[in-house]
Structures are given as structure tokens and as C-alpha cells.
């Protein structure tokens, strides 16, 4: 099937920032919603996104949204996800690589940073998965009108030492540098950018205490945390821009100034 309306794939998009990205992209793209284990949450995201007005005419018989299950920490799962997305939607123009992993530790306790499993899982989910996803999607992104786009979700922790663990911070720094490398390797047909949020009030972010959230807020120049909608809007901007590549945009309320 071939369809003229551009298609975006957002990984880990059944909740949180991924779900917000689906809604931000919905006016401009047909969107593939990837989930791992909660199909009901993916269906809820699609129901909500369906109410958002589109700026395009949907071709007859072409789905506006599609939910696909895949484990994007697994290379074979990523390949299958991309193949099925293209088979079902007809094309692929934008990929938002949003999945990641961490374990909450005492950042300042060196002994708590030595678990090899943490390092392996962080590097696999927060670095290698982006590379695998870009590799699988690249042949289709190169065919996109005006060029394809990869947006990697990194973190403020990759810009300055902070976050849930040292392994997480180091892996997010690696993700940012990977994005810059991919921008060189994949240009001029594919643009590669990253976005680095500060603390977000997602399901994960709400695990922090009120005192910790206030402490994070007090570190911002704007005295407010960025919202998931703020970050999703920046993801949309990077997806649509035809003049930005190799950039990491920090959306944190002004912590990393």
C-alpha cells in the first residue's frame, strides 16, 4: 500500500512523553503507536489523538493511527516493528525513538553505581536501541519527501551529571553523541536530532517526593519544570524542520544554562 500522507513512528508511546508526542504529531502525520505490554493504554492514546484535527485529508482506506506491539530493546523486535509499520501504513517519514531504561540509585554513592546489569541494560536501551531503530528505518526515511527525520529522546542527565544513576547519565550522554554521529552518517537524506528533557511529571517522575520535585524546580531559571507537552512540541518542531540536524535541544526550564 502506498499513501501520500506522511507517517511517524513513536516508540514507547502508550503513556507519558511518548503519548504526548503522538498527540503533538497527529495534526501533521499518520502515527504508529508502539507499546510493549499495555495494549489498552495504546488504544486509549489513539482514542484521544483521534479527536485532534488533522491538517491533511486522509486517503480512503488509510488508517490514521496504528498500534503495534514490540520490545524495542531487542534488535529483532525493532526490525519487525519497522517492517510491519511500513507494510500497514505504506511509508515511514519520521521516527521518534523514545524508549529507555533506568534504575533509581543513590547517585552520590559509588558502591550503588557498580552493578554491571545496570550498565548493560542502560547502554542497550538508551544507546544501542536508537542505532538499531535508525538502521531499520533508514531505507524508508531516505525516501521521504523533503528527507526523513529521527528524533532521539535523551535527557538533561546526559548534559550534566545528574539523574537516577551514573549509568543512566553516561548512557544518555552517549545517546546525544550517537545522534550527532548519525546526523553525519545519514545526511543529507535523513536528519537526526535529540531532545533532552529535565524532570517530567510522568508516571515515573511522580515517584519522586514533593521535596525532590520542589528541589528540581528551584534549580530552574524559570522556576517551573518543563511539561511533557513542552517537550512533545519540541519533538514536533524537530520532526518538521528541514534545516536542523545533529542538534540536542535541552528542554528543562533553564537548568543547563
Phi, psi (deg, nearest 5) at residue 183: -60, -40
Gap between the Cα atoms of 12 and 18, Å rounded: 6
Please say if 35 is a catalytic residue: no
R_g (Cα) of the chain, nearest Å: 18
* Cell 537548568, located at residue: 255
Gap between the Cα atoms of 131 and 124, Å rounded: 10
Q: Which of 8, 13, 73 is nearest to 39 (CA)?
A: 13
Query: Known catalytic residues?
Result: 168
Amino acid at each position: 500500500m502506498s499513501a501520500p500522507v506522511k507517517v511517524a513512528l513513536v516508540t514507547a508511546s502508550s503513556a507519558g512523553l511518548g503519548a504526548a508526542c503522538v498527540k503533538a504529531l497527529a495534526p501533521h502525520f499518520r502515527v504508529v503507536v508502539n507499546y510493549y505490554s499495555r495494549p489498552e493504554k495504546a488504544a486509549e492514546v489513539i482514542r484521544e489523538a483521534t479527536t485532534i484535527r488533522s491538517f491533511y485529508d486522509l486517503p480512503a482506506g488509510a488508517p490514521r493511527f496504528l498500534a503495534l506491539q514490540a520490545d524495542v530493546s531487542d534488535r529483532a523486535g525493532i526490525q519487525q516493528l519497522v517492517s510491519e509499520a511500513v507494510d500497514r501504513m505504506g511509508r515511514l517519514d519520521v521516527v521518534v525513538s523514545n524508549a529507555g531504561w533506568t534504575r533509581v540509585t543513590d547517585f552520590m554513592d559509588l558502591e550503588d553505581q557498580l552493578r554491571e546489569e545496570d550498565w548493560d541494560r542502560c547502554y542497550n536501551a538508551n544507546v544501542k536501541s536508537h542505532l538499531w531503530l535508525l538502521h531499520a528505518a533508514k531505507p524508508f526515511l531516505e525516501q521521504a519527501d523533503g528527507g526523513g527525520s529521527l528524533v532521539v529522546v535523551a535527557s538533561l542527565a546526559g548534559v550534566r551529571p545528574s539523574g537516577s544513576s551514573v549509568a543512566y547519565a553516561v548512557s544518555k550522554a552517549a545517546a546525544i553523541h550517537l545522534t550527532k554521529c548519525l546526523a553525519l552518517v545519514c545526511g543529507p537524506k535523513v536528519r537526526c536530532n535529540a531532545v533532552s528533557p529535565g524532570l517530567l511529571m510522568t508516571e515515573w517522575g511522580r515517584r519522586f517526593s514533593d521535596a525532590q520535585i520542589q528541589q528540581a524546580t528551584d534549580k530552574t531559571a524559570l522556576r517551573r519544570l518543563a511539561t511533557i507537552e513542552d517537550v512533545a512540541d519540541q519533538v514536533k518542531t524537530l520532526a518538521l524542520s528541514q534545516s536542523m540536524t545533529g542538534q540536542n535541544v535541552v528542554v528543562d526550564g533553564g537548568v543547563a544554562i
